[in-house]
Amino acid sequence: MYSQALNTASTPADTSEVATRFQIRIDAEERIEPNDAMPDAYRRTLIRQISQHAHSELIGMLPEGNWITRAPSLRRKAALLAKVQDEGGHGLYLYAAAETLGVSREELVDQLLTGRAKYSTIFNYPTLTWADIGAIGWLVDGAAIMNQIPLCRCSYGPYARAMIRICKEESFHQRQGYEIMLTLCRGTDEQKAMAQDALNRWWWPCLMMFGPPDRQSPHTDSSTRWKIKRFTNDALRQKFVDATVPQGLHLGLRFPDPELRCEDGHWVFGTIDWDEFRRVLAGDGPCNRERLAARRKAHDDGAWVREAAQVWAAKQTPGRKAA
């Protein structure tokens, strides 16, 4: 699924020789590979962004996993299982990309479980009805794709390669979500009302997925200079709204925004509640505690398996230590 543009921290331009030479390579659209020289700040920014992205994939399995046992048909259940498994896979590609920068998987997992690392705010909202599964696929994955496609051209090779793989798989996620919405909207009045209710609850949090407005982030943004980020938060948000509103209108749904209107070929939308965004980011969303508790429990419940596997491996190859 997706990494939120949370990296608003910016560093002043580094004018050392290493940094200058590095910037020349970046400006020439060269890809940076794991063992290449790179400024520490570039490495740190990438580790933070890629690991946040990986954490978001793993936490993103929880709201949807909630509905696997209650999917309305075997077809829907098989698709949802495959989608949730994909999210786990995406997390693993991304952890592997982060590890090429010299951080260990175990350290990254520990950062998530101890609450030191962030993940996308969108996964701290609950999935109350089956229509939420449709809304997540259509809107959350739709927003993710918008954000991830430019990352396929990111300057860091392993991250870009992971994103190419993820984007290929993500398209099925969005289409299966839209199909769920379409089926509900063509169904009974109650089913359509359920779809409308899901849109009402997910629309604004999805717009927040693109991160704070551009006017709040410093204009000398280092991620842009390093070509990690190729579009601003607001530009991606607008692209998403322009692409999504016609899809919603086709469903016969109303967007929960009285100010939404079309002007010069773009959909103008109302004001986003950034206080809500900050609250959820700071840990005070509807499901923050539940999500972390679920991850911790899964990690703790699997501890004996990891231990047994290490001991078994050590027994197979005498002389090799268990860790």
Partner 1 sequence: MADPATRLWEVFIRARNGLAHRHAGSVHAADPEMALQAARDVYTRRGEGLSIWVVPSDAIVASDPRDKESLFEPAGSKIYRHPTFYEVPDEVGNM
- Contacting positions for partner 1 (CB under 8 A): 33, 35-37, 82, 85-86, 89, 92-93, 96, 99, 104-107, 109-110, 162, 169, 303, 306, 309-310, 312-313, 316, 322-323
Distance CA 250, CA 154 (A): 34
Rounded Cα gap, residues 184 and 135, in angstroms: 11
Q: How far is the CB of 308 from partner 1 (least distance, A)?
A: 9
Q: What is the nearest approach in angstroms of partner 1 to the Cβ of residue 141?
A: 17
> Least Å distance between CB 81 and partner 1?
11
Contacts (Cβ under 8 Å, ≥6 apart) of 106 = none
The DSSP bridge pattern shows strands 261-263 and 266-268 to be antiparallel
> Which bin fits 24, alpha (ψ -120 to 50), beta or left (φ > 0)?
alpha
- Distance, in Å, from the CA atom of 254 to the CA atom of 260, rounded to the nearest integer, reads 10
Indicate the residue among 37 and 78 with the shorter CB distance to partner 1: 37
Q: How far is CA 269 from CA 141, 189, 199, 249, 273, in A?
A: 20, 27, 15, 15, 12
> Is 258 or 318 the residue whose CB approaches partner 1 more closely?
318
Instruction: Tell the residue number behind the tokens 């996993």, with chain if given.
Output: 65
d(CA 42, CA 51): 14
* 8 Å CB contact between 220 and 11: no
Question: What are the structure tokens assigned to 232, written together?
Answer: 């601003």
Work out how close the CB of 322 gets to partner 1 at its nearest, in angstroms, rounded to a whole number: 8
Nearest approach, Cβ of residue 227 and partner 1 (Å): 19
Task: Report d(CA 309, CA 61) in Å as an integer.
Answer: 25
Closer residue to partner 1 (CB): 157 or 270: 157
| Least distance (Å) between residue 158 CB and partner 1 | 9
Between 259 and 301, whose beta carbon lies closer to partner 1? 301
Closer to partner 1 by CB, 298 or 309: give it: 309
* CB of residue 131 to partner 1, shortest distance in Å: 27
Residue nearer to partner 1 on the CB measure, 188 or 316:
316
d(CA 261, CA 243): 14
> Would you tell me how many other CB atoms lie within 10 Å of the CB of residue 195?
28
Rank residues 27 and 110 by Cβ distance to partner 1 and give the closer one.
110
- The span from the CA of 80 to the CA of 84, in Å, is 6
Comparing CB distances to partner 1, the nearer of 106 and 263 is 106
Q: How far is the CB of 310 from partner 1 (least distance, A)?
A: 5
DSSP 132-162: HHHHIIIIIHHHHHHHHTGGGG-SBHHHHHH
